Amino acid sequence: MTTHSSNSDSVDLPTSQQFYINGRWTNPAVPASLPVVNPATEEVVAQVARGSAEDVDRAVAAARAAFPEWSARSVESRAHVIGKIHELILERKEALAQAISLEMGAAIGFARAMQVPLAAEHVRVARDLLSSYRFRTVENGTAIEREPIGVCGLITPWNWPLYQITAKVAPAIAAGCTVILKPSELSPLSALLFAQLLHDAGVPPGVFNLVNGSGPEVGAAIAAHPDIDMISITGSNRAGALVAQAAATTVKRVTQELGGKSPNVLLPDADFAKAVPLGVLSAFRNVGQSCSAPTRMIVPRNRLAEVEALAAQTANALIVGEPQLEATQLGPIANEAQFNRVQAMIQAGLDEGAKLVCGGPGRAPGFAKGFYARPTVFSEVATAMRIAQEEIFGPVLCLIAYDTVDEAVAIANDTVYGLGAHVQGQDLDLARAVASRIRAGQVHLNYPAWNPMAPFGGYKRSGNGREYGVFGFEEYLETKAIIGFD
């Protein structure tokens, strides 16, 4: 289904031609800008300042100077500031949702219901952890102290722009670190609003700094900088590898949340009438632009025809439309390069002989412009096919048949990735056993509610380290043993 509107919305930014460094908005060292394109119209809607290594140097110097005082603050003081950030996100949720919808095409209903509230949860969790986390424990005469690692470079992607920012910034500053953020140059508007929000919340100068720019310029400068102690990046495998290589010369800590090709195993006793539609919706959430999207649905061979019918019915009922319309469920793909990638992968599925159940190449019907992809389901997919092995990052679902549960587990693990996974089944003992055999950092049983405390991160080429909750918080801490403490 498709919907249209002539509505056009703008976002009031504190500034789009400056960076936030050392507690104030400041001009780039070399005047330059980057366009921000609305994926629904393919039109440039803003220009943001384009940073350089010199801008990174200024931000790092500010963060380094601010670190001693911020890291020495009481946890109560840091918690108060982070609590104010949480309040302001909720207070300004509509402006943030509008910015996200404009910059990367999220349906406004999805931005309001998911993109912004889940981002706020990362801040709440970081605040609450400070009241219970034990930064020092003593046992057998040895004190174990957990101390902030220092200055952190944070590199975030375009698909969940605010959510990924808060997942890094909140635990980092809660731990006592200071940060330099490089948001994606493709979706930087919500980051600018977030920077102003932190300023208004009373975050001290230098604790949080923002420099916009490209990966090869600003990202590389952050990764290689000798005065940055840690890098946290969420992005593609290629970007993650480049950052790790640049960071290696200074032996800094690097955590990476990278690609995924998550399986969704439907066991023979699953409630297919419920599990298949929910699986399609999970795979296509955020127009399929989620690293952990369960885009490989692994189903019993004797139920394949039934699954095809249920999947097609669900996919065909999704409302693809302009992001500002309340009824829209799927907006456009977030940018032109990703739209072209999705189109190429759909064509690859056809070329390799997968069965097209619904959707296919080209724009969604009725759209002459905008990066609107057609919700697509392939069946009879072999694990060797590109669509079964490569991350597509769009609304494309692969149905893969199995004959035994052991084969289902083997298919689930037959990928270089290991970020997320799903298992559906009424026999919980069997479902848990299958979950334990899947090589992934997070496994969901029967579509549970999202848990912001559950550690999130990958096995294999899906990355290193964890985010969310205590595990994500501890990534920003060093461990010190003081022996003879008694």
Same domain, yes or no: 401 and 280: yes
Same domain, yes or no: 360 and 394: yes
Task: Please say if the pLDDT value at position 4 is more than 90.
Answer: no
Same domain, yes or no: 203 and 281: no
Are the beta carbons of 56 and 225 closer than 8 angstroms? Answer: yes
Q: What is the mean pLDDT of the segment spanning 217-235?
A: 98
Of these residues, 152, 177, 291, 358, which one is catalytic?
A: 291
Same domain, yes or no: 171 and 311: no
420 inside domain? yes
- Told to judge if 398 belongs to the known catalytic residues of this protein, a careful annotator would answer no
377-381 contacts: CB < 8 A, separation 24 or more? 377/280, 377/308, 377/311, 377/312, 377/315, 378/349, 378/354, 379/304, 379/307, 379/308, 379/354, 379/355, 380/304, 380/353, 380/354, 380/355, 381/296, 381/349, 381/354
Task: Please say if the pLDDT value at position 463 is more than 50.
Answer: yes
456 inside domain? no
Tell me which residue of 82, 393, 402, 452 sits closest to 265, measured CA to CA. 402
- Cβ neighbourhood burial of 446 (10 Å; 0-12, 13-18, 19+): middle
β-pair type (136-139, 142-148): antiparallel
Tens digit of pLDDT for each residue in 329-356? Answer: 999 999 999 999 999 999 999 999 999 9
Structure confidence at residue 62 (pLDDT): 98
Query: At 452, which amino acid appears?
Result: P
Q: pLDDT category, 145, cuts 50, 70, 90?
A: very high
Taking all residues of the chain, what is their mean pLDDT, rounded to a whole number? Answer: 96
Q: Say what the pTM is.
A: 0.96
| DSSP secondary structure letter of residue 48 | E
Structure confidence at residue 8 (pLDDT): 43
Q: What is the mean pLDDT of the segment spanning 464-473?
A: 98
Task: Please say if the pLDDT value at position 182 is more than 60.
Answer: yes
Same domain, yes or no: 39 and 117: yes
Structure confidence at residue 15 (pLDDT): 74
427 inside domain? yes
125 inside domain? yes
Structure confidence at residue 9 (pLDDT): 53
Task: Please say if the pLDDT value at position 31 is more than 90.
Answer: yes
Percent of the chain beyond pLDDT 70? 98
| Domain count across the chain | 2
Task: Please say if the pLDDT value at position 460 is more than 70.
Answer: yes
Query: Which residue range is the domain that position 393 belongs to?
Result: 263-451
Structure confidence at residue 13 (pLDDT): 75
Q: pLDDT category, 178, cuts 50, 70, 90?
A: very high
Percent of the chain beyond pLDDT 90? 96
- Told to judge if 257 belongs to the known catalytic residues of this protein, a careful annotator would answer yes
Same domain, yes or no: 222 and 330: no
Same domain, yes or no: 435 and 374: yes
Tens digit of pLDDT for each residue in 428-440? Answer: 999 999 999 999 9
Same domain, yes or no: 174 and 64: yes
Of these residues, 121, 217, 257, 475, which one is catalytic?
A: 257
Same domain, yes or no: 278 and 253: no
Tens digit of pLDDT for each residue in 374-424? Answer: 999 999 999 999 999 999 999 999 999 999 999 999 999 999 999 999 999
- Cβ neighbourhood burial of 384 (10 Å; 0-12, 13-18, 19+): exposed
What CATH number should be reported for the domain holding residue 315? 3.40.309.10
Task: Please say if the pLDDT value at position 7 is more than 90.
Answer: no
